[in-house]
Amino acid sequence: MHTTDKSRQLRSLIRLLTDAAEVVIREWDAPKVAPLNIGSQLPSQDMFEARRIILGACGMCADLVQDPLSRLSEITCGYIPARALHIAAQACLFDLLASADPVEGISIHEISCRTGINESKLVRILRCLCSIHVFAEVKLNHFTNTPTSAAVVGNEPFRSWILIGGAETFAASYKLPAIIMDPVKTHSLSHRESALQEVLDTKLTLWEYLETGVSQEDGTIGPRPELRTWSLAMIGGAQMNGPPLLCDFPWEKHNGCTIVDVGAGVGSMSLELAKIMPITRFHVQDRGAVIQDARAIWMRELPEAIGSNRVNLMAHDFFTEQPIKGADIYLLRYILHDWPDKDCITILKLLRDAMARNSCLLVADYLLNTTIGSSRLKSAPHPLPANYGVAQIFSNMHDLSMMSLFNGMERSPNELEDLGRQAGLEVVRIWECRGYMSIVEFRRDLD
């Protein structure tokens, strides 16, 4: 790019940043009210858009002004700060630093003694994370939380979300280049031939591996302890993804209907919906071992729903016939991205067969936009990439994680529309939410 064009583009980005920053500042300066519900925890639509613009513009500015070789060097070592964060999560540093005086901090010597980690190694790990504002060094060798790390204090589900990024997910990503470059394996779409199977030396899927019986501390046989971490992590991820899904679709119009939550895990989304849809009936479906855990959670969080039979917790394999016929809503959240196209079409067809003409199917997943854009999704203002660039990079990261773990994928609107068409379903609307995920609404075709 010619320097004149770079100068013009940088000025355009600075104007975008200035305008978006004013939106953020106005919202920060507005009178604060106590959160009344989940929706009040979300940014306004204007604030959400301003955030995306700022993040995307900062990413483009960095690309414009940084030396290309330095930029590529940072990217190729990007896993190092991630590993530092994984270590911080394993060592529970967020909670340890919660008691720190904001001015004095806690000394690296004390942190080392309390964690058992070598002092000279631990200080370098912390300083790496200080450089990206996860922690703060308030004076030499003394550290505190920042607003970012404070969000994990006492938050075991989100700590688990961080931990799974450093466990099976990271291990699978290590083997991804070997799978991609293999002349045979590169073409496989089987969920039993992903990078995960390569690193674990197994043909089991992730969930089968986690549920494999192993000796427990009390001498009994039960699932691997990592299963609990993954179950908690799904709740942790929902802290980030859940509120937009609950608030940016008109659930209130469907109060009194029947919702079938397919592959629901412990039913965390249905649990939140049940609180705001008091006369709605829920069927929460997943594997038997997961449903056992779900019952304890529902009895603790919303026992009246169990006692009144407003929720039905049932073991179900979504590759078999759907037993609940003619429900108003069938919900697939975090499901299709685990599976290649052929399996997704099977899942969708089985639900289509169970749907009545007025039923709808809601698919909640990360929805990919490209830098070129999509007619079905909002595009960023010029000169940003249509998908807001860096502001949505986590969606691309998650896509490659799905490839590594399952040979799965996050999909674009056109790709989801094509899957639906092959299953006898039509996309009637895409509900873009104030987060990484969207809700795609399907109806049966007219045949």
Amino acid 388: pLDDT? 98
Boundaries of every domain in the chain: 3-66, 70-154, 168-229, 244-444
Task: Tell whether the model's pLDDT for residue 38 goes beyond 90.
Answer: no
Mean pLDDT of the 331-348 span: 96
Amino acid 447: pLDDT? 61
Residue 363: count of CB within 10 angstroms of its CB: 27
At residue 172 the predicted structure's pLDDT band, cuts being 50, 70 and 90, is very high
435: phi then psi, degrees, rounded to nearest 5: -175, -160
Task: Tell whether the model's pLDDT for residue 192 goes beyond 80.
Answer: yes
C-alpha distance from residue 27 to each of 53, 287, 380, 399, 423 (Å): 15, 44, 21, 32, 44
Give pLDDT tens digits for 300-332: 999 999 999 999 999 999 999 999 999 999 999
Q: What is the CA radius of gyration of the chain?
A: 23
Task: Tell whether the model's pLDDT for residue 36 goes beyond 70.
Answer: no
At residue 359 the predicted structure's pLDDT band, cuts being 50, 70 and 90, is very high
The residue assigned the tokens 């006492």 is: 154
Architecture of domain 70-154: Orthogonal Bundle (1.10)
Token digits for 89? 């999560």
Find, among 294, 260, 256, 293, the residue nearest to 276 by Cα.
256
Task: Tell whether the model's pLDDT for residue 56 goes beyond 80.
Answer: yes
Task: Tell whether the model's pLDDT for residue 37 goes beyond 80.
Answer: no
Give me the helix-helix angle, 168-181 and 156-165, nearest 10°: 30
Task: Tell whether the model's pLDDT for residue 412 goes beyond 70.
Answer: yes
Task: Tell whether the model's pLDDT for residue 355 goes beyond 90.
Answer: yes
Token digits for 262? 């397919």
Amino acid 260: pLDDT? 98
Task: Tell whether the model's pLDDT for residue 347 goes beyond 80.
Answer: yes
Residue 260: count of CB within 10 angstroms of its CB: 29
Helices (H), 30-92: 45-65, 68-76, 79-90
Residues assigned a catalytic role: 337
Amino acid 4: pLDDT? 87
Taking the model in full, what pTM does it have? Answer: 0.92
Q: How far apart are CA 392 and CA 370, in angstroms?
A: 10
At residue 76 the predicted structure's pLDDT band, cuts being 50, 70 and 90, is very high
Architecture of domain 244-444: 3-Layer(aba) Sandwich (3.40)
Give pLDDT tens digits for 125-167: 999 999 999 999 999 999 999 999 999 999 999 999 999 999 9
Q: Quick one: what percent of the chain has pLDDT higher than 90?
A: 88
Q: How far apart are CA 329 and CA 309, in angstroms?
A: 18
Q: Quick one: what percent of the chain has pLDDT higher than 70?
A: 98
State whether residue 294 is helix, strand or coil.
helix
Task: Tell whether the model's pLDDT for residue 39 goes beyond 60.
Answer: no
Those residues with Cβ within 8 angstroms of residue 123's Cβ, 6 or more apart along the chain or in another chain: 108, 141
Give pLDDT tens digits for 195-225: 999 999 999 999 999 989 888 888 888 889 9
Residue 447: count of CB within 10 angstroms of its CB: 4
Amino acid 34: pLDDT? 63
At residue 275 the predicted structure's pLDDT band, cuts being 50, 70 and 90, is very high
- Average of per-residue pLDDT values in the chain: 95
Task: Tell whether the model's pLDDT for residue 356 goes beyond 80.
Answer: yes
Amino acid 289: pLDDT? 81
